[in-house]
Chains A and B, each alone.
Chain A
Amino acid sequence: MTEATSTSKHPSPSDDAPAGKAKLAVWKFTSCDGCQLSLLDCEDELLTLAGQVDIAYFMEASSRQLPGPYDLSIVEGSITTPEQRELIQAVRAQSRFLIAIGACATAGGIQALRNMAQVDDYIQIVYANPEYIDTLDRSTPLSDHVNIDFELRGCPINKHQLVEVISAFLNRRRPRISEHAVCVECKLNNTVCVAVSRGEACMGPVTQAGCGALCPRYHRPCYGCYGPKENANPQALIDWQSSLGIETVKILENFTNFNTAAPPFHNAASSIRRDRQNPPGKSP
C-alpha cells in the first residue's frame, strides 16, 4: 500500500486545473470488492472512460501505480483496522475530490454488525487463535475519519450512478443523484406496492432510491440496500408494520443489515430493541 506519510486532515491540493487528463485513483478498504467491480462492469463505458482519465491507481485492475496527488479518488470499504485509519488520511491528503462508494464506505457495511456486539466474541467464533487477528472493535464509514466530497449509496452501488458521479466531478458539476424514497421509483415503474397490496415488510418508504426499485419489481419487499433516504421516518414505518401484524424480529432484521450503522437505521433498531425489553403500556 502507499505510504501513509501525511496525516493532515484538511489538505490543500493545488487549485490549479490539472494539465492533461484527470488522475483517477480507486481505493479499497474493508469490503467485498463489488462496488469497484461496478467500474469494470461498465463494459460499454470503460474504454471511453480510460480514454478520458488517467487511471493512476486501481490495484484490482492494474499493476501500474502512479503517485498522487489525484484529481479524483473513489473509495470502497469501511475502516476496520488501525492501518486503514492512517491510510484514509493519506488518501484524503492526496485527493482533490474524494467520493465514498457503497454501503461499507458510507455506513460501515454489514461488518458494522460487530458494533453492537463484542468483537472478541466474533473473533473467537471464526478464529481459533484470536491473538493473530488485529481489528478495531467498530466498523466505521469514511466520513467518521475524513471529509467526503460525495457519498454514493448502495449495496452494491448502481454502475450508471457511478458513471454519472465520475462525469459530474470531472466536469465540475453537481451529480444528479436523487435522495427520495424507493417508493417514488415504484410509482415511476408502475409497480404495485408490495406493502399495501400484500402487507409485506417493505423498507421502501425509508430507503433511498437508486436501485430502480428492483426488489418490488421482482415481487419482494425492499430490504434497504441503499440506506436511509433524506429525512427518513423509521418510527412511522415500524408502527405501521407492527399494526399489520409483521413480526418485530422481521422489522428489526431489515434495519440491521447492510446499512446497520447508518444513524436513522441504527436508532430505529435501538428503539425496537428497547420496546422489546420494555413493552409500551407496561411499567418498566
Chain B
Amino acid sequence: MRRNRPGRHPFGLATITWLYILWSLVPVLVAMRISFNSGKSRSAFQSLSWRWYFTDPAKSVLHDDTLVQPLKNSLKLAALSMLITTPIGVTMAIGLQRWRGRLSKASNALMLFPLVTPEIVMGVALFLVFTQVYTGVPRGFTTQLLGHITFSISYVVIIVRGRLAAIGPQYEEAARDLGANRLQAMRLVLLPLLGPAIFASVMVVFAGSIDDFVISSFLSTGASSETVPMKIYAGGRATATPALNALATIMLVFTLVAVGLAALVMRRMRARQGGGEDAQLGSLAAVG
C-alpha cells in the first residue's frame, strides 16, 4: 500500500499558474516589441526595424544624447556600487557572523533594517541628509552612488552570511592548525570558498542598482544625473517615442545577463558544495 497516490492533476491550479505567468510576462514582451516599431507610435505597430536603437539619426537611443546619458549614468552607478559595496559587505558579513556581544546584535539589527524600510522613507532620509547635513558632498552622481551603496550593503551581507553558515569554521581551523595566521587563513581559505557567493552578490548589487528609481530620483540634480528608470518615469507619461521602449529593453538585457551569470554561478556552487535551493532563492527574492 504505497501511499503516494498521484491523484488527479489539479488542472484548475495549473491553469491559474500558467495564466499568471502569461499575465506577468506578456505586457513586457509587448513593450519590447514596440521598441522595434518602425513607426513613431507606442501603441500601433507598423513593421520591424532597428530605427529606435540605431538607425534613426536623431531620436534613436544611439544618437539621442538625452537617452545615452541616462544609460551611461545607470551603468556607471551600478558598476561603482558593486565595486564599493562588495568589500564593505563581505567584511561585514564575516565580522557579523563571528562577532559576539551586545554591540554585534545592535549592528545586526542595523544591517537588517534597510531591507524592510520602504524606499520612499530611505529616499527622503537621504535627500534631507544630503541637503541639510552632508552639504559638502557633491550632489548628483556622488550622492546617488552613496545612496545605492547604502541599500546594497545588506544584500551582500545576507547572501555572504548564508554561504558562511554553510561552510562552517572547520576549513579555516584546519588552515590555522597548519600554521597559517588569521589573515592568511581568511585570504587563502575562506575567500576562495566564498567566491561564488561574492560573485552572486556582486551581480545582485549590479541589478538592484540598475533597477532603482526612488533613491536615484531623490538624489538627482537634473539631466546630468538622470538614470534609465528616471527617464522611463519622465518619458512614459509625456511625449516619448518607441526609443524609450528601446532604452528599457537595452537595460533589461544588461540585467538579465548579470542575473544569468549569477544564476549559473549559484547553480555551480550548489552542485559543488550543496546548500539549500531555498536559501539561494530567498536571497534572490530578498533583493528583487
Are A and B part of the same complex? no
